[in-house]
Amino acid sequence: MADGGTTEGKGIGARVLRKEDWRHLAGKAKFTGDFQRPGQKEMAFVRSEVAHARIVSVTKPAGFESSVFTAKDMPDMQPMRAPSKMPGYKGADYPALAIGKVRFVGEPVAVCIADTRAEAEDLAQATLVEFGELPAVVDMLAAKAGDAPLIHEDWGDNLVMETFADDDFGKIADRATVVVKREYRMARHAMNPMEGRAVFAEWDDRTDQLMMWTSTQVPHLIRTGLAQFLGLEQRQVRVIAPDVGGGFGCKALLQPEEVIAGWLTRHLEVPVRWIEDRREHLVTGANCREHHYFVTIHATPEGRILGLDCDVTIDAGAYSVYPFTNGLEGAMAHGNLPGPYDIEVYRCRTQTMTTNKPPLMPYRGVARPGVCYAMEMTIDALARDIGVEAHDIRTMSMVKQEQLPFMSIAKKHFDSGDYAKSVEMVVDMIGLDKIRSEQISANGEGRLVGVGMGSFVEQTAHGTSVFASWGVAMVPGYEQATVRLTPDGGLELRIGVQSHGQGMETSMAQMAYEVLGIDPSQVTVTHGDTGLTPYSTGTYASRSMVMAGGATARACRVLAERMEIIAAHLLQCERAEVTVRGGKIVSGKGEVSFAEIGRVWYLNPDELPDDVDQGGIEVTMGYRPEPDSGAFTYASHACKVAVDIDTGEVEVLDYAIVEDCGTMVNPMIVEGQTYGGATQGIGTALLEESTYDSFGNPGASTFADYMMPGATDAPHYRIDHMESPSPFTEYGIKGMGEGGTIPTPAAIGNAINDALKTIGAEVTETPFTPRRVRAAIAAANKNRQGDAA
């Protein structure tokens, strides 16, 4: 039996510095936009300038007709279709190039190709589209009106999907005498990985394959989708994700531009390249987070939460995205609103509406930053109403450690941890008592200080049963990893997920070290290439470390057994006497190096025993946790803010995090993911917003009018860990890539409202910009004057 590592500590739990750093530091990384071939063409798009219209005509620039393509020129390119088995779901096909109608500003209408991007853009500019404008549906609530214009005429309404759960509130009526109701909005925004989307495609005649390098998190899904919508067999498509400059969800879906690039290179027999510019990203990628909530909490006079009643509206934009659909967000909102709380009755309705905006996509945390914000803000409102500390409501109402494993009211199967302890720890870290006395001594003029927190529990690495219940076309199964010993004793590790900042070239090598004791520097991790790696649904849902890491461990264990058989023969001892340890096979009779095993298997098989495993020293193993209902990460964030009551400006003065993602493989990476996620959450809370006018025209198309969190906006985070291994996963690992984003808007919103409580003002709409904060203060002042009158 392999028992892996030595005491050097490069396995699970070690802060191993990343193997992938050096190419980036040297400027030698290779992103999709860095590919260039002689004779390649650059693509540029003619995009819709109106939110809703019939396409009356497209006039191509004279003399360049063969360089401009509309859907009519590509009759064999199918619209992207993402079916869902959700009851009543109406998903609209997403045409890569608009057919007949456009439904959002930025929708691709035609594609132009030329030798340089500038020339392609010249063609795009010279292409004239005549639109027959239709009234646009810009707001998700307005989309519900009986007389709202229809975005998809054949639907009869604008409802994508509805979920509903009801319960008998009579059960708690005599105990839950406090009822608090609030309304919230979370603004639409854009994910903004620093590398936008990009694609480079060429047809390889030698292999008869479409070769596509694309900035994606899910190369295998892209292959499946491309084949389907281009009418190819999947063996004819190879997708490679080279270095990818961040994804956060918007690269976990098939993109129109990928389908179009595939079509062009196949039919024109030239390599084509498209690199999204930031304006395209901000306009067409304004695709996430937009939710509206009514939340009612029913609680005892002490603040024990007993019931939750929610009405959620989700703005899903114009089309359904492949493969996750635009119904996922509603299903997730429904399942996550009760958070870590042990409540008795839950009523929830979600309505997912179609609007004339870009199709909604799952952004890091997916629906959870929204639901956590709505729930946690209401908890603090309750605390203010009844005059207790909000953290007491939390600890009192959370599922207790001794109740785990526990089936939550929203049917989430919590595995392990101590949720209330994370609250107590973070309250301590932020120094609540000290902030309270500061608040008392402050005179209430100018800058007000507030403290707030947010807690969540996050289902990660959920598998087959969960995705099947959401009815999506793509359901993940056993995740696979391949390990192969090279003739000189190195290790090649191939995983079907894709690493775009998560450091998997390091953390997966740490898994191999954990089992085999092989130094991470001797392990090459290959990912993101459908030609070289096992099929995988890819990197999303905080799943890679659990799933591909688990598969890696299993494959390494089988490899160890096979090496042990060979080593026992070479050492002329019993199989039971040898063990893989510290990157060698050791026994009382001596040791055999991995290089020796490689040499014998590949080059001197005459030295092999008769009973050798004929599969050799290359192993593919699959893994999925059992049960596959997910490993539940949780965390509590707390922050201290100062609010300038004259300008409405909010400054984050301190920020504390206590998180528990089970067994940490590389704590350095865990912390990095958490800080990065939290900073995106700060963007959601304070800065980021894709605005629209009443015609559906986007108002934020550059970084001058779309505010991203910079180094001065991000606080100096403080972090502490708990480590409650999941009983369901290899080594007790839980996923953690998304969690940092989830409670940040809640924590900041609560801190602002805490600061404003003496005025009686509350913010209820993100981002909490100076304008909104001032408006909240003005409304409270007006209220008070009204009361006084």
Interacting residue ranges for ligand FES, rule: CB under 6 A: 194, 245-246, 501
- Report what 244 binds from ligand FES, another protein, none; CB cut-off 5-8 Å by kind: another protein
> Interacting stretch for another protein, rule CB under 8 A, among 4-12, 71-79, 112-120, 759-767?
112-120
* Residue 96 contacts residue 259 (beta carbons within 8 Å): yes
Nearest one of 641, 626, 635, 623 to 750, comparing CA atoms: 641
Q: Which two tokens stand for residue 255?
A: 């993109």
Number of residues that bind another protein (CB under 8 A): 59
To ligand FES, the closest distance from the beta carbon of 19 in angstroms equals: 16
In the window 175-214, what residues touch another protein (CB under 8 A)?
192-195
Residue 432 engages another protein in binding (rule: CB under 8 A): no
Report whether the peptide linkage leading into residue 323 is cis, meaning its omega lies within 30 degrees of zero.
yes
Query: % helix / strand / coil in the chain, to the nearest 5?
Result: 30, 25, 40
Rule CB under 8 A: choose which of 50, 124, 650, 678 binds another protein: 678
Q: Using the minimum distance from each CB to another protein, give the nearer residue, 337 or 652.
A: 652
- Report what 708 binds from ligand FES, another protein, none; CB cut-off 5-8 Å by kind: another protein
Give the rounded distance of the alpha carbon of 499 from its chain centre. Answer: 13
Among all chains, which residue has been given the structure tokens 């057994």? 561
Burial class (CB in 10 A: 0-12, 13-18, 19+), 626: exposed
Q: Using the minimum distance from each CB to another protein, give the nearer residue, 380 or 671.
A: 671
**389 residue type, one letter:** E
Nearest one of 340, 283, 278, 284 to 308, comparing CA atoms: 340
To another protein, the closest distance from the beta carbon of 142 in angstroms equals: 32
Nearest one of 329, 330, 348 to 338, comparing CA atoms: 348
Q: Using the minimum distance from each CB to ligand FES, give the nearer residue, 137 or 191.
A: 191
To another protein, the closest distance from the beta carbon of 766 in angstroms equals: 18
Q: Phi and psi for 206 in degrees, rounded to 5?
A: -65, -45
Q: For residue 654, what is the DSSP state?
A: E
Q: Which two tokens stand for residue 276?
A: 């999204």
To ligand FES, the closest distance from the beta carbon of 22 in angstroms equals: 14
Q: What value does the CA radius of gyration of the chain take, rounded to a whole number of Å? A: 28
Question: Could you give the count of Cα atoms lying within 13 Å of 585 in the half-sphere of its Cβ?
Answer: 30
Residue 704 engages another protein in binding (rule: CB under 8 A): yes
- Report what 693 binds from ligand FES, another protein, none; CB cut-off 5-8 Å by kind: none
Residue 767 engages another protein in binding (rule: CB under 8 A): no
What distance in Å separates the CA atoms of residue 109 and residue 752, rounded to the nearest whole number? 44
Q: Phi and psi for 468 in degrees, rounded to 5?
A: -60, -35
Q: Phi and psi for 299 in degrees, rounded to 5?
A: -140, 165
To ligand FES, the closest distance from the beta carbon of 553 in angstroms equals: 28
To another protein, the closest distance from the beta carbon of 121 in angstroms equals: 11
Residue 716 engages another protein in binding (rule: CB under 8 A): yes
Q: Using the minimum distance from each CB to another protein, give the nearer residue, 230 or 682.
A: 682
Among all chains, which residue has been given the structure tokens 């990157």? 583
To another protein, the closest distance from the beta carbon of 113 in angstroms equals: 16
- Report what 69 binds from another protein, ligand FES, none; CB cut-off 5-8 Å by kind: none
To another protein, the closest distance from the beta carbon of 704 in angstroms equals: 7
Nearest one of 395, 415, 390 to 403, comparing CA atoms: 415
- Report what 591 binds from another protein, ligand FES, none; CB cut-off 5-8 Å by kind: none
Q: Using the minimum distance from each CB to ligand FES, give the nearer residue, 10 or 500.
A: 500
| H helix or E strand, kind and range, residue 314 | strand 305-315
Q: Using the minimum distance from each CB to another protein, give the nearer residue, 391 or 637.
A: 637
> Interacting stretch for another protein, rule CB under 8 A, among 277-285, 389-397, 458-466, 507-515?
277-285
Q: Using the minimum distance from each CB to ligand FES, give the nearer residue, 271 or 503.
A: 503
Residue 714 engages another protein in binding (rule: CB under 8 A): yes
Q: Which residues pair with 57 in a beta bridge?
A: 130
- Report what 166 binds from ligand FES, another protein, none; CB cut-off 5-8 Å by kind: none
Taking residue 252's Cβ as centre, other Cβ atoms within 10 Å add up to 24
Q: For residue 641, what is the DSSP state?
A: E
Residue 17 engages another protein in binding (rule: CB under 8 A): yes
- Report what 378 binds from ligand FES, another protein, none; CB cut-off 5-8 Å by kind: none
* Residue 550 contacts residue 663 (beta carbons within 8 Å): no
To another protein, the closest distance from the beta carbon of 122 in angstroms equals: 10
Give the rounded distance of the alpha carbon of 759 from its chain centre. Answer: 37
To ligand FES, the closest distance from the beta carbon of 217 in angstroms equals: 14
Rule CB under 8 A: choose which of 142, 270, 708, 759 binds another protein: 708
To ligand FES, the closest distance from the beta carbon of 619 in angstroms equals: 33
To another protein, the closest distance from the beta carbon of 690 in angstroms equals: 16
In the window 623-662, what residues touch another protein (CB under 8 A)?
none
In the window 25-44, what residues touch another protein (CB under 8 A)?
25-31, 33-34, 36
Rule CB under 8 A: choose which of 184, 203, 248, 632 binds another protein: 248
Q: Using the minimum distance from each CB to another protein, give the nearer residue, 79 or 737.
A: 737
CA dihedral 273, 278, 281, 284 (to 10 degrees): -100
* Residue 563 contacts residue 554 (beta carbons within 8 Å): no
Q: Using the minimum distance from each CB to another protein, give the nearer residue, 424 or 720.
A: 720
Rule CB under 8 A: choose which of 327, 358, 452, 503 binds another protein: 503
What distance in Å separates the CA atoms of residue 30 and residue 24, rounded to the nearest whole number? 9
Rule CB under 8 A: choose which of 59, 702, 758, 783 binds another protein: 702
Q: For residue 686, what is the DSSP state?
A: I
Rule CB under 8 A: choose which of 8, 21, 302, 488 binds another protein: 21
Q: Using alpha carbons only, what angle is made at residue 596 by residues 593 and 602, rounded to the nearest 5 degrees?
A: 140
Q: Using the minimum distance from each CB to another protein, give the nearer residue, 16 or 586.
A: 16
What is the three-state SS of 525-545?
EEECECCCCCCCCCCCCCCHH
Rule CB under 8 A: choose which of 710, 771, 781, 783 binds another protein: 710
* Residue 759 contacts residue 781 (beta carbons within 8 Å): yes
To another protein, the closest distance from the beta carbon of 275 in angstroms equals: 8
What distance in Å separates the CA atoms of residue 576 and residue 719, rounded to the nearest whole number? 45
Q: How many residues does the chain have?
A: 789
Residues contacting residue 618 through CB under 8 Å, at least 6 positions apart: 482, 483, 484, 485
- Report what 440 binds from ligand FES, another protein, none; CB cut-off 5-8 Å by kind: none
- Report what 784 binds from another protein, ligand FES, none; CB cut-off 5-8 Å by kind: none
To ligand FES, the closest distance from the beta carbon of 676 in angstroms equals: 8
* Residue 366 contacts residue 372 (beta carbons within 8 Å): no
Q: Is the dihedral of CA 516, 522, 528, 529 positive or negative?
A: negative
To ligand FES, the closest distance from the beta carbon of 500 in angstroms equals: 8
Residue nearest to ligand FES (CB): 194
What distance in Å separates the CA atoms of residue 292 and residue 334, rounded to the nearest whole number? 13
To ligand FES, the closest distance from the beta carbon of 253 in angstroms equals: 20
- Report what 164 binds from another protein, ligand FES, none; CB cut-off 5-8 Å by kind: none
Q: Using the minimum distance from each CB to another protein, give the nearer residue, 15 or 171.
A: 15
Q: For residue 175, what is the DSSP state?
A: T
Q: Phi and psi for 485 in degrees, rounded to 5?
A: -80, 135
* Residue 356 contacts residue 138 (beta carbons within 8 Å): yes
List residues binding another protein (CB under 8 A).
Answer: 17-18, 20-31, 33-34, 36, 116-118, 192-195, 243-246, 248, 275, 277-279, 500-503, 668-669, 671-673, 675-680, 702-704, 708, 710-712, 714, 716-717, 740
